[in-house]
């Protein structure tokens, strides 16, 4: 039996890219950091706040997200939304994910 640390590390490795994919798809509808965190959690994407917030900025720097400060409400919030480049990447990632799923299914079928 592998230890917990190893197992956690492998699970994290496997999920790392899915957070980016989820952000790009979810943010077709603009949202701010904390609300996005909640939505991702509800959708079943486990991600920590301290991973997500810097990630959003990184994706913005890469031109995959765009942001606007919304100061209409009492608490000013930074809203992110997927850019056209981000949209294109999301499509690519989703297609790749489906291909992977197909491969894993095949792997499973072959093993039996």
Partner 1 sequence: MNSLTDRYTWAVVRSLPEAKRADIERELRASVADDVEARMAGGATEQQAEHDALVALGDPDRLAVSYADRPAYLIGPRYYFDYVRLLKLLLSFIPALAGTAAGLANAIAQQPVGAIIASVITTALMVIVHLGFWTTLVFVILERSSAAGKPLVTWEPSLLPEPPVPGRADARIELCSSLFFLIAAVVAVVWQQVASVFQDAAGDPIPVLQPELWQFWIPALFALVAAEVVFAVVQYRRGWSWGLAIANTVLSALIAIPGVLLALGDEIVNPAFVERTGWDDADTVLVPLIVVMFAGIAIWDSILGFVKARRASRVAA
Interacting residues toward partner 1 by CB under 8 A? 32-35, 38, 48-51, 53-55, 57-58, 61, 69, 75-78
Report the residue number, 75 or 112, with the smaller CB distance to partner 1. 75
CB of 55 to partner 1, least distance (A): 8
3-state SS track over 66-111 = EEEEECCCCCCEEEEEECHHHHHHHHHHHHHHHHHHHHHHHHHHHH
Report the residue number, 59 or 106, with the smaller CB distance to partner 1. 59
Report the residue number, 75 or 108, with the smaller CB distance to partner 1. 75
Q: In the sheet that 65-70 helps form, which strands lie side by side, from edge to edge?
A: 31-32, 77-82, 65-70
CB of 69 to partner 1, least distance (A): 8
CB of 90 to partner 1, least distance (A): 21
88 touches 74 (CB < 8 A):
no
């Amino acid at each position: 039996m592998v230890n917990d640390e190893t197992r956690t590390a492998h699970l994290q490795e496997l999920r790392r890219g899915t957070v980016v994919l989820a952000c790009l798809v979810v943010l077709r509808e603009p949202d701010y950091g904390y609300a996005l965190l909640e939505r991702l959690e509800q959708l079943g994407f486990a991600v920590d706040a301290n991973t997500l917030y810097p990630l959003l900025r990184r994706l913005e720097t890469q031109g995959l997200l765009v942001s606007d400060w919304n100061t209409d409400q009492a608490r000013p919030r930074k809203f992110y939304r997927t850019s056209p480049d981000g949209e294109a990447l999301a499509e690519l990632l989703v297609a790749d994910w489906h291909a992977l799923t197909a491969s894993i299914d095949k792997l499973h079928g072959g093993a039996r």
